[in-house]
Amino acid sequence: ELELLDPTNTIYKLLGPVLVRQEMEEAKTTVGKRLEYISGEIKRYEQQMQELERRSEQQREALGRLQQELQRAQGKA
């Protein structure tokens, strides 16, 4: 939305309960840094989810092997 503004528009940022005037470039820089941070966090969480899914699949496979071994052992008894 900052891209839609022209130089005559006034930008304010909220500091506590007060609105303080802010320069356009400063506002763009701040928003850009926040977007970078948010994108980085999203990537980090996606990587964590992939790792947890991989571990979960390994545990399912191990459980399946143990169940097969148990069934074989019960069949011999």
Tens digits of residue pLDDT in 36-57:
999 999 999 999 999 999 999 9
Say if 8 falls within a structural domain: no
Parent domain of 59:
24-75
Q: What is the pLDDT of residue 55?
A: 98
Say if 37 falls within a structural domain: yes
Say if 18 falls within a structural domain: no
Say if 57 falls within a structural domain: yes
Predicted TM-score (pTM) of this structure = 0.67
Say if 5 falls within a structural domain: no
**Which distant-in-sequence residues (6+ apart) come within 8 Å of 9 by Cβ?**
24
pLDDT band at 77 (very low <50, low <70, confident <90, very high): low
Say if 58 falls within a structural domain: yes
Say if 65 falls within a structural domain: yes
**Number of domains within the chain:** 1
Please report which helix (H) or strand (E) contains residue 21, including its range: strand 18-22
Length, in residues, of the chain: 77
